[in-house]
Amino acid sequence: SQTIHQWPATLVQPVGSPLSLECTVEGTSNPNLYWYRQAAGRGLQLLFYSVGIGQISSEVPQNLSASRPQDRQFILSSKKLLLSDSGFYLCAFSTSGMNTGELFFGEGSRLTVL
Amino acid sequence: SQQGEEDPQALSIQEGENATMNCSYKTSINNLQWYRQNSGRGLVHLILIRSNEREKHSGRLRVTLDTSKKSSSLLITASRAADTASYFCATGGGGGTALIFGKGTTLSVSS
């Protein structure tokens, strides 16, 4: 069956420190991968999506970056965190063969920047 | 970009009552999806309705779509305390594009 794993679940980081959130998918090949951010009490903001290895589309200019080093691995990074980077980060995938775009989400990573 | 906007932002009801949430969007769509999010968790897909469908059922869920008004509604019948969550509509997606979510409706069901 298809599963998605995201870690770490919780992270507290000082301003200016680096960030790395990782997401892996199992049970499917060539998934479309997504990073969303959810601020407290807010909706989901699309950050990045990828339709293949090395192919990253950025939706919001910011100090975050994403990489897809392997087919089923998606990484969200920052070299220097800002206070405004705090939030709940969600990784998701869709099956490339399905044209409906239904997303399967990980359990999220809660980032607090102090 | 396409975006759903849910209404109301928050809804409080008693167990056994029905809950109705609405979603409006801006541009033409191929389908519209509803998701649920329990507090502090990831989103879970509930139901998808295609643009050529007007109504769809799944258990206690009923979704309607009115493409002429660019709106959709999610009805949860006979609500339970376990239905307490945030509900989001989403449009777009497919063909390698990304889903765009609304801000959600927070439903609280008290026993």
Render pLDDT for A32-80 as a digit per residue (tens, 0 to 9).
999 999 987 778 999 999 989 989 988 876 799 999 999 999 999 999 9
- Tell me which H or E stretch contains A111: strand A109-113
How many contacts (CB atoms, under 8 Å) link A and B? 68
Say what the pLDDT of residue A13 is. 97
Which amino acid appears at position B12 of this protein?
Answer: S
A53 interface with B at CB cutoff 8 Å: no
pLDDT digits (tens, 9 = 90+) for B26-44: 888 889 999 999 999 999 9
Check: CB of residue B31 under 8 Å from CB of residue A100.
yes
Three-state DSSP at B99 gives: strand
Mean pLDDT of B103-107: 93
A107 touches chain B (CB under 8 A): yes
Inter-chain residue contact B93 with A100, CB threshold 8 Å: yes
Check if A36 contacts B (Cβ < 8 Å).
yes
Please calculate the CA angle B84-B86-B91 and round it to the nearest 5 degrees. 145
**Contact at 8 Å (CB) between A96 and B96?**
yes
Q: What is the dihedral of CA B88, B82, A100, A42, to 10 degrees?
A: 20
Is the distance from CB of A34 to CB of A15 less than 8 angstroms? no
A32/B96 touch (CB, cutoff 8 Å), yes or no: yes
Phi–psi pair at A42, nearest 5 degrees: -120, 175
Residues 54-93 of A with CB under 8 A from B: 57, 59, 88, 90, 92
The larger pLDDT score, comparing residue A23 to residue A95, is at: A23
Q: How far apart are CA A8 and CA A23, in angstroms?
A: 9
**Which candidate, A91, A89, A87, places its Cα nearest to that of A106?**
A91
The H or E element that residue B89 is part of is: strand B85-94
Query: Residue B1 above 50 pLDDT?
Result: no
Considering only the beta carbons, identify the residue of B31, B44, B102 that sits closest to A43. B102
Mutate to test the interface with A, among B91, B99, B105, B108 (most CBs of A within 10 A): B99
